[in-house]
Amino acid sequence: MSQSRTYEVRTYGCQMNVHDSERLSGLLEDAGYQRAAEGSTADIVVFNTCAVRENADNRLYGNLGHLRPVKDAHPGMQIAVGGCLAQKDRGEIVRRAPWVDVVFGTHNIGSLPTLLERARIGREAQVEIEESLETFPSTLPTRRESAYAAWVAISVGCNNTCTFCIVPALRGKEKDRRPGDILAEVRALVAEGAIEVTLLGQNVNAYGSEFGDRQAFSKLLRACGEIEGLERVRFTSPHPRDFTDDVIDAMAETPNVMPQLHMPLQSGSSKVLKAMRRSYRQERFLDIVRRVREKMPEAAITTDIIVGFPGETEEDFQETLHVVREARFAAAFTFQYSKRPGTPAATMDGQLPKEVVQERYERLVELQESISAEENRKLVGREVEVLVAEGEGRKDGDRRRLSGRAADNRLVHFATSLRGANSEHSATSLRGANSEHSSTEEGDNAPRPGDLVTVEVTYAAPHHLVADSGVRSLRRTRAGDAWAARNGQQQEQPGVLLGMPKVGVPAAEPAAAGGCCDA
């Protein structure tokens, strides 16, 4: 195979899909492919799909249709479709789009290079869908999209049976990695420069169920706290059913576990929760929120909420509004219920008219927006430490700002001026040789993605904070050095196109809930 063949991976969906795409990129590069330059036509286009929304298939086939004339004009071009929708639709994809060369599922992403080569040599489509996990994804080559922050999968699959969710049917039963393997991956990432990891699974706090340790997740959090150089640990998403005091204690007592929790509510009505088969009730959820805040008063709690589940009455919806008022979420990803074929909820009685769901959705968004704004305004005048990020602020260039995440995962846009900034240069375990300098010129001391800055919040909006008074202190890190080493060679990365947005970012439009990482 020619070394010049290029690839592009288009990612749709949740954090698990984003992480899987890092594996797909790593596999292709390990097989000799190169990432296509921005604006060029790739020799291989891979769709990593999501089955979250009701019209996910229409979006996929629309995109495949747009690619058909491109492929016709580029002999040798190949198209591959993987992920949850491929697992669900199987041979249907090739039937509806016969110009697709490869279809692979969620359990065999490691087969992609081989399937592409088979399709190229045999000149016929290759469809391979495994019913169970072939190789744990974290054992595969990886092309990390960030030099300073990384996903680390601790499990795949889900043992829950939520009536609205198709994920267990597509991802399979929960499979847990051994703690030693997870910690070895985290240590390797830190050695490469990362200072933040997000532990990832469909239901992270059920971790350990496969090998019979109900406290395995809290032990894992505490073990991450002992890794030198690891500054920030996050996780997503936990299930309220499995959220126990040992996890709360581990969060509160482990300094590098961030004061942030994303815990899906889905509905505030105990009756609707029962119909969803969620195995907890309103009182249980609010009790967890109370206990988290007792141990971590500054914790930012975010959630997912579905509006218009079959049979939801106005009284049920009022219960959801009650929980939102009581919990005072920092943010909520609000979704209009969407049927997914193959789920029990799709055939339930009491499917609600679109206009009823839309009106409730708008009321919920209005309430949550007001609470988010009020909670964020409490931070005006306070100093926060921000991990500088790449690509978080779309208007940063126009406004001479950079952006990043505070410890509680709030998005912060900050002015890049170094007024009174104290650039720290004392030796620490996070500082690399390239950072050991004493210049105070702004050009030399400009914060880089991966560096940590302290700023004072000057303005608050519902979905972000602004700090326009200048950087109070700057700590240049090995993560910033790692970013600088990659800068100039790294191309702009594609965004997530469909499904659950990043934690801390509001949903831009109504969508179906129950994505891969919705617990």
Quick: pLDDT tens for 19-31.
888 889 889 998 9
Q: Same domain for 369 and 391?
A: no
Quote the domain boundaries for residue 413: 379-419+449-487
Interstrand relation of 411-415 and 422-424 (parallel, antiparallel or unpaired): unpaired
Q: Annotation-wise, does 224 bind a ligand? A: no
CATH (domain of 179): 3.80.30.20
Question: Which of 323, 352, 378 is the last residue in one of the domains?
Answer: 378
Q: Annotation-wise, does 14 bind a ligand? A: yes
Answer whether residue 366 shows pLDDT above 90: yes
Q: Annotation-wise, does 162 bind a ligand? A: yes
Question: Which of 128, 163, 188 is the last residue in one of the domains?
Answer: 128
Answer whether residue 238 shows pLDDT above 80: yes
Q: Same domain for 88 and 116?
A: yes
Contact residues for 343 (Cβ-Cβ < 8 A; gap 6+): 163, 164, 165, 166
Residue 205 is assigned to a structural domain of this protein: yes
Q: Same domain for 108 and 155?
A: no
Highest mean pLDDT among 47-61, 143-157, 460-474, 498-512: 460-474
Give pLDDT, residue 23: 87
Give pLDDT, residue 500: 32
Answer whether residue 441 shows pLDDT above 80: no
Query: Hey, what are 53's tokens?
Result: 């929304």
Answer whether residue 440 shows pLDDT above 60: no
Give pLDDT, residue 519: 57
Query: Hey, what are 365's tokens?
Result: 């968004």
pLDDT tens digits for 168-217? Answer: 777 788 889 999 999 999 999 999 999 999 999 889 999 999 999 999 99
Residue 19 is assigned to a structural domain of this protein: yes
- Taking 3-state DSSP, the helix, strand and coil percentages for the chain, each rounded to the nearest 5, stand at 35, 20, 45
Q: Same domain for 13 and 40?
A: yes
Q: Same domain for 362 and 390?
A: no
pLDDT higher at 117 or 440: 117
Give pLDDT, residue 139: 67
CATH (domain of 61): 3.40.50.12160
Residue 63 is assigned to a structural domain of this protein: yes
Residue 221 is assigned to a structural domain of this protein: yes
Average pLDDT over residues 433-455: 65
**Is residue 279 very low, low, confident or very high in pLDDT (cuts 50, 70, 90)?**
very high
Answer whether residue 514 shows pLDDT above 60: no
**Residue 27, class by beta-carbon neighbours within 10 Å (0-12 exposed, 13-18 middle, 19+ buried)?**
buried
Residue 227 is assigned to a structural domain of this protein: yes
H/E segment holding residue 260 = strand 260-262
Question: Which of 97, 128, 159 is the last residue in one of the domains?
Answer: 128
Give pLDDT, residue 81: 94
Q: How far is CA 25 from CA 16, 105, 189, in A?
A: 14, 16, 17
Q: Same domain for 199 and 162?
A: yes
**Is residue 490 very low, low, confident or very high in pLDDT (cuts 50, 70, 90)?**
very low
Answer whether residue 87 shows pLDDT above 50: yes
**Is residue 443 very low, low, confident or very high in pLDDT (cuts 50, 70, 90)?**
low
What's the predicted TM-score (pTM) here? 0.80
Give pLDDT, residue 496: 42
Q: Report how many domains make up the chain.
A: 3
Q: Same domain for 82 and 114?
A: yes
Bridge partners, residue 387, by sequence: 405, 452
Q: Same domain for 213 and 355?
A: yes
Average pLDDT over residues 259-283: 97
Q: Annotation-wise, does 158 bind a ligand? A: yes
Give pLDDT, residue 148: 94
CATH (domain of 409): 2.40.50
CA dihedral 414, 231, 11, 448 (to 10 degrees): 40
Q: Which letter does DSSP use for residue 7 in this model?
A: E
Report H helices in 134-177: 167-171
Residue 119 is assigned to a structural domain of this protein: yes
Answer whether residue 337 shows pLDDT above 80: yes
Q: Same domain for 212 and 356?
A: yes
Q: Same domain for 332 and 347?
A: yes
pLDDT tens digits for 378-426? Answer: 999 999 999 999 988 777 777 789 999 999 999 999 998 765 444 443 3
pLDDT tens digits for 169-181? Answer: 777 888 899 999 9
Q: Same domain for 116 and 205?
A: no
Please state, rounded to an integer, the average pLDDT across all residues of the chain. Answer: 86
Residue 306 is assigned to a structural domain of this protein: yes
394 phi/psi in degrees, rounded to 5: -70, -25
Q: Same domain for 363 and 396?
A: no
Residue 1 is assigned to a structural domain of this protein: no
